[in-house]
Copies of this chain bind each other. A is one copy, B any other.
């Protein structure tokens, strides 16, 4: 059994002495168009399928890291966390992989530009920014595919947050996961818009990690998930190449609903949806029947993200006045 520590040692070659006083980095959150759901190795976060995402560019995590003695000092959004805070504990456990000696401790200041409760996984941008900051601090000069491997060990979807734009995380087949990293796609979709709808800001009752396990391990419809993802990838890559946002939206919505369907078919059933989630989906479906080109995607939580072309933006804002709209590819200069 290959351990996370083996991978870190192999990539960093024990280079765990700071190169400078402080490492800094920023990484964007990402929204999966083809979802990551199910691990073949839970320590290394090796996925069962490929996944594909778009980064949200202006929403992400900014992290500064330096070393100290005593204990890790983790500041999240301006608040120094107690050492027994779940965020501190998970971060410190990950940082254990990068200490030259047990006495080596880190000072981390991390800030999420992620709207609270919008169902954006800040762990993705968080671990990507942390790995980039460590690379800066220690001067590893690793390439991004190597950093993607390290980020993946922190949180699976973090492997995709090393880049802006469209990113394809290849599941890989090796047991050490050295071929399981993300690669950016060349294509841009300047007219693509992502709309964030916050339906509930309550913490989800079950973590994605536990949810995946429950879906994959028991009797469920999960066995049909991989063939579906394979088919969706084969459809979405040409759609991206053609800049066909309608087709991308269709495939992404189908994929997201199918991911939630795998959960609802698990035992016990796993249902992140609230009545408001379903009401929002019915609203989108009804609007689409009336001609509005807008699609939904949902992660392991109750909130809905919209996928649409900038041409539909005014109509989307009329339908959902509270929507927060992101341009994943920035200002499209004429």
Residue positions of A touching B, CB distance < 8 A:
219-225, 227-228, 231, 250, 253-254, 257-258, 260-262, 264-265, 267, 269, 271, 273-279, 281-282, 285
Q: Is the CB–CB distance between A264 and B260 below 8 Å?
A: yes
**With A269-B253, A281-B271, A282-B274: A231-B219 Cβ-Cβ less than 8 Å:** yes
User: Once bound together, how far apart are the Cα atoms of A258 and B267, in whole Å?
Assistant: 10
**With A264-B264, A274-B278: A258-B228 Cβ-Cβ less than 8 Å:** no
Secondary structure dominating the interface of A:
helix
Query: Chain B's nearest CB lies how many Å from the CB of A331?
Result: 34
Q: Is the CB–CB distance between B265 and A275 below 8 Å?
A: no
Q: Is the CB–CB distance between A223 and B224 below 8 Å?
A: yes
Question: Can you give 18 contacting A-B residue pairs, CB < 8 Å?
Answer: A219-B228, A219-B254, A221-B225, A221-B262, A222-B224, A223-B224, A224-B224, A224-B265, A250-B267, A257-B264, A257-B265, A258-B264, A261-B264, A269-B285, A271-B285, A274-B278, A275-B276, A277-B278
Query: Chain B's nearest CB lies how many Å from the CB of A261?
Result: 4
Residues of B near A273 (CB, < 8 A) are 278
- Residue with the greatest number of chain B CB neighbours at <10 A, chosen from A250, A254, A271, A285: A254
Query: Chain B's nearest CB lies how many Å from the CB of A212?
Result: 16
Q: A271-B278, A274-B278, A275-B278 known; 4 other A-B pairs, CB under 8 Å?
A: A221-B262, A224-B224, A261-B262, A275-B282
Residues of B near A279 (CB, < 8 A) are 275
Query: Chain B's nearest CB lies how many Å from the CB of A100?
Result: 46
Residue of B nearest to A253 (CB): B269
Residues of B near A269 (CB, < 8 A) are 253-254, 257, 285
User: Once bound together, how far apart are the Cα atoms of A51 and B231, in whole Å?
Assistant: 30
Q: Is the CB–CB distance between B231 and A227 below 8 Å?
A: no
Query: Chain B's nearest CB lies how many Å from the CB of A223?
Result: 5
Residues of B near A276 (CB, < 8 A) are 275
